[in-house]
Amino acid sequence: MGVVVTITSGKGGTGKTSITGGIAASLALMGRRVLCIDMDIGLRNLDISLGLSDRALMDFSDVALGRCPLARAAVDHPELKGLSLLTAPMSLPANVTPDKIRVLLDTARTMYDYILIDSPAGLGAGFRLSICGADRVLVIATNDASSLRDAQRTVEELDGIRQVHLIMNRIQTKLLRRLRATIDDAMNTAGLPLLGVVPEDAQVMLCANLGQPLTSRGKRGAALACWNIALRLEGHRVPIMRIR
């Protein structure tokens, strides 16, 4: 049975979508069957991070409401075998409930090894749908105080989910030194064990603008960090990246 992993942040602008795409592409390159579900209703961008812009015709509400089977609604990546996308609707129908999302996810578990859900920022209805069937949650934060406080607030809403980890994104050594901050400080503030550290990397924006998965330019910088996170999800022991 597949594992449902929700990637969330509480605060917007933490790079959550790019991390979701990077981990998904890495898992697919490892030979896993991966379904990405964009639950950022009205503001979907995961298709850009995956290089699948405007390919999706049906969305997760069509599947949840029985208008289209998952196998037909999910769009396969033309280059990364095993990677598929189920996009978000522009507005959420009122009759899409957590129970219907759980049924959708139960079906996805029989078809994929991993289901990665890109949660919207904030703690509203989209967030509730994105965590309702999660087996584990990855909370993305940057090193600024507001991001860490929002991450901590997000954790308070995850009762009942046993596996919750922190990913520190867009880390810059100079900024850490200037603030006299450490990754340990961030872990203590958020109250979570660390799953990965991702450096600030111009390749993330470049790949998104070119419509290419982050992994398309080799395993270095943010791409290597996402690869290492994917390995940890697989159960491998991999040292946390040192940001220089």
pLDDT in tens, 59-117: 999 999 999 999 999 999 999 999 999 999 989 999 999 999 999 999 999 999 999 99
State pTM to two decimals.
0.93
Query: What is d(CA 137, CA 130) in angstroms, rounded to the nearest whole number?
Result: 10
Query: What is d(CA 26, CA 80) in angstroms, rounded to the nearest whole number?
Result: 10
In angstroms, how far is the first alpha carbon of the chain from the final one?
A: 39
Beta strand spans in the chain (E): 3-8, 34-38, 75-76, 83-86, 114-118, 136-141, 163-171, 194-199
Query: What is d(CA 83, CA 80) in angstroms, rounded to the nearest whole number?
Result: 6
How would you label 68-84 residue by residue, b for 16+ Cβ within 10 Å and e otherwise?
Answer: bebeebbbebeebebbb
User: Could you tell me if 20 and 36 are in contact, meaning their C-beta atoms sit under 8 angstroms apart?
Assistant: yes
The per-residue pLDDT for 117 is 98
The per-residue pLDDT for 218 is 76
pLDDT means per 10 residues in the chain (244 residues)? 94 88 96 96 86 84 96 94 94 94 98 97 89 96 86 89 93 67 70 90 86 79 94 93 66
The per-residue pLDDT for 181 is 63
User: Could you tell me if 195 and 138 are in contact, meaning their C-beta atoms sit under 8 angstroms apart?
Assistant: yes
User: Could you tell me if 5 and 233 are in contact, meaning their C-beta atoms sit under 8 angstroms apart?
Assistant: yes
User: Could you tell me if 175 and 133 are in contact, meaning their C-beta atoms sit under 8 angstroms apart?
Assistant: no
Domains with residue ranges and CATH for the chain: 3-233 (3.40.50.300)
Give the β-pairing of 114-118 and 83-86.
unpaired
User: Could you tell me if 47 and 54 are in contact, meaning their C-beta atoms sit under 8 angstroms apart?
Assistant: yes
The per-residue pLDDT for 197 is 92
The per-residue pLDDT for 196 is 93
The per-residue pLDDT for 172 is 80
Query: What is d(CA 83, CA 67) in angstroms, rounded to the nearest whole number?
Result: 23
Distance set, CA 151 to CA 29, 96, 157, 165, 203 (Å): 29, 26, 10, 11, 25
